Amino acid sequence: MTPRVDLKEFLSAYVAEVDEQLQAANAKLLEVEASSHAGHANPRSVRDLFRALHTVKGLSAMVGVEPAVAIAHRMETVLRVADTAGGPVALSSVDTLLQAIREIELRVREVSQGKEPSPAPRAILDALDKLDLSSPLSTRGPATALDLDPAVASKLAPFELDLLSAGVRNGRRALRADFSPSPAKAERGFSINTVRERVGSVAEIVKVVPVAVPPTDEAPGALSFAILLLTSASDEEIANAVGIAPESLQVVMPATPTLESATPPPVVAAGDDDLEPLSHRRNIVRVEVSRLDDAMEHLSTLIVTRSRLSRAIAELTSTGANTRALAEIMRDNARQLRDLRAAILRVRMVPVSEVLERIPLLLRGLRRESGKQVRLELDAGNAELDKGVAERLFPAIVHLVRNAVDHAIEAPADRTRAGKPAEGTLRIQCFAQSNTRLELTVSDDGSGVDRASVARRVGRDLATDAALLDALCRAGLSTRDQATTTSGRGMGMDIVKRIVVDQLGGELAMKTAAGVGTTFTLRVPLTISIVDAFTIERHKQRFVVPVSMVEEIFEIEPAAVRFGPSRGMAEGSRAGIVERRGEAVPLVDLAWSLRLAGVGVAPRQAILVRRGGEPTAFGLDRVIGQQEAVVRPLIDPLVQAPGIAGATDLGDGKPTLVLDLVALGGTLAARDGERAA
């Protein structure tokens, strides 16, 4: 099909837009489900859902993705009915609708991969058709037949009437219970206030209308309250709550039999002109990330050019030329570049709440697979994150959520036995820690990590949470013997660590308490790629170290370095100890750490970094200067090495390695044996 090739440009826009609409549809559907659970209709979300699918259908028709059109069309039909009826959606239909969204997603993915979309599965089309005919989705019709004496009925506001009819359409019963206060009842604990409270726990009180009645023994104050309520509870429960006989309850609005209302109400709501796409917000432009990357790439070359320029000026200055004016221009230029960079970075920022949008859907699936009850608390606030970082970070969050449900949160029965609520809580919180870092926590109130079992596995003591986390992050470690469908083998913590620490240059921490729960804290940079960096030199080789990793730089006083017993190691490979601010700090030669060729003098300066609170100082010849560096990650497997974060161009057209001294420090302990050899 040739037009598809011609539409390539448009296709990626199609995929992006549809993807967004499907995400929105998923989210709305889950909202609808939650409302249905709570017994309410959720007309707003149903409307949004309808709009999203309407947009999907329209876009798919434009591009000719017929299977998506077919599925979306049927969903639309089902939802149109629900929308018209004021939003009731049967719980049983949610699965089918989710599955249908998934099927559309699959087809869109195929299109994005340049494949022909596979036909819409008959099963899902049939299931959708059936929904339309038989589910309570299609029950509709205004149930306004109010069976209530006019004195009370006249007190009802229109919205209260609506509430009642919506409730009835939704399958609840609209009842009237009369309560007349008396001293005798008050003695038994029935006052209008306690009755309100008790009824409120088994029903939704729509209105309480005071009614004057002839004084009787039952109502000595000549006053009665007509309580109008919606409930799914039995007559007995309601009557008990009010302290009256079940027989005295009145049904005020008959349940409407389903397909009876002969004339369906006109479909005003779903008129097409009313259907703006969900994402439609004024003054917002959708931009592909690759275009932003382009802009960033151009900026990167500008920064490299600037480095060259300042080199040239430095050379000029060294010949004795007056370069003051140039220096001033360079300062302006630096500021402008910084502003431009900030502006581009801002464009790349996405709200974290958007990143976490898929989590509820994920959790829904996990709940179902595991049979556990888990409540999600999401609090992303206004935090924003670079799109690139967000994309990398998301799989780590998914891993942690899976682990929490699969390994940490106990089965409802076990939780009850342990004195916890049957429903577990998974909390994801996030806030910007500073202008450069974001902190995200994933906590559960589950069983905590089984310290003893992990210790047995790795064969050593794990007294601290840090040591425990370290052990968990070893590839292939699993505290479970059996693979489970959700988490597979192992806990995937090595993946989490690789993403957070190795790929994003962030930190990963854990707090766990047996029986109480576990909290993972992820601290990641808001953006990557351009960093403030020190240029350093050792054995005539230059390296770049991000300023953010460096705690301090200090001069090494040779006389103050202490060497312990050295097992006959070569000079440069001995780690010394220096004292910094009352702390004993190991000092290792950067040349040895990186296995640099060449022999030189002992290091004269040192850079101090911290890894999980533990300091390490790296000895080097000198720190040459500080500048902005564009970090290009070294992604080719041939050049992926611990401690190497990437490469940068300092203006000489040659790559200079960007060091991750924190990670490098972590590899040194493992080389202990080699040092002894």
Partner 1 sequence: MTNLTRYGAPAEGQSAGTLHVVFKVAQSEYLLPSETVLQMESFSGATPVPGAPSYVIGIVQIRGRVVPVVDLRLRFGAGVGETVLDNRIVVGQYGDRVVGLLVDSAREVVKVTAAQLKPPPPILNHQASGFVKAVVQVGSRVMMLVDFARVIGEEPLHGVD
Mask 8-27, x = binds partner 1 (CB under 8 A)? --------------------
How far apart are alpha carbons 353 and 388 in whole angstroms? 15
Pick from 87, 525, 643, 665 the residue near partner 1 by CB under 8 A: 643
Size of the site for partner 1 (CB under 8 A): 25
How far apart are alpha carbons 152 and 157 in whole angstroms? 11
Residues of this chain, 402-461, that bind partner 1 according to CB under 8 A: none
Mask 207-246, x = binds partner 1 (CB under 8 A)? ----------------------------------------
Tally of helices (H runs) and strands (E runs) in the chain:
23, 22
By CB under 8 A, is residue 647 in contact with partner 1?
yes
For residue 219, which of 190, 249, 257, 247 has the smallest C-alpha distance? 190
By CB under 8 A, is residue 636 in contact with partner 1?
yes
Dihedral Cα 288, 290, 295, 299, nearest 10 deg: 150
Q: Find where tokens 């060729």 sit.
A: 597
- Whose Cβ is closer to partner 1: residue 325's or residue 677's? 677
- Whose Cβ is closer to partner 1: residue 266's or residue 637's? 637
Contact 663, 643 (CB under 8 A): yes
DSSP 32-48: HHHHHHHT---HHHHHH
By CB under 8 A, is residue 665 in contact with partner 1?
no
Pick from 594, 620, 629, 662 the residue near partner 1 by CB under 8 A: 594
Contact 96, 127 (CB under 8 A): yes
Nearest approach, Cβ of residue 294 and partner 1 (Å) = 12
Nearest approach, Cβ of residue 544 and partner 1 (Å) = 11
By CB under 8 A, is residue 598 in contact with partner 1?
no
Number of neighbours of residue 307 by Cβ within 10 angstroms = 19
Pick from 222, 342, 483, 641 the residue near partner 1 by CB under 8 A: 641
Pick from 281, 324, 581, 595 the residue near partner 1 by CB under 8 A: 595
Pick from 275, 432, 596, 624 the residue near partner 1 by CB under 8 A: 596
Pick from 475, 639, 669, 676 the residue near partner 1 by CB under 8 A: 639
Mask 530-549, x = binds partner 1 (CB under 8 A)? -----------x--------
Provide the 3-class DSSP secondary structure of residue 476.
coil
By CB under 8 A, is residue 281 in contact with partner 1?
no
Range in contact with partner 1 (rule: CB under 8 A) among 274-282, 525-533, 607-615, 645-653: 645-653
Nearest approach, Cβ of residue 636 and partner 1 (Å) = 5
Range in contact with partner 1 (rule: CB under 8 A) among 79-87, 141-149, 512-520, 590-598: 590-598
How far apart are alpha carbons 670 and 146 in whole angstroms? 79
Contact 310, 327 (CB under 8 A): no
User: Residue 562 burial (CB < 10 Å; 0-12/13-18/19+)?
Assistant: exposed
What is the enclosing helix (H) or strand (E) of 26?
Answer: helix 8-38
Q: What are phi and psi of 387, to 5 degrees?
A: -55, -40
User: Residue 351 burial (CB < 10 Å; 0-12/13-18/19+)?
Assistant: middle
Nearest approach, Cβ of residue 538 and partner 1 (Å) = 11
By CB under 8 A, is residue 655 in contact with partner 1?
yes
How far apart are alpha carbons 676 and 498 in whole angstroms? 29
Strand residues in 128-249 grouped as ranges (E):
173-179, 204-212, 223-231
By CB under 8 A, is residue 638 in contact with partner 1?
yes
And the tokens for 632?
Answer: 């290009």
Nearest approach, Cβ of residue 590 and partner 1 (Å) = 10
Binding site for partner 1 (CB under 8 A): 297, 300-301, 541, 594-597, 632, 634, 636-639, 641-644, 647, 649, 653-657
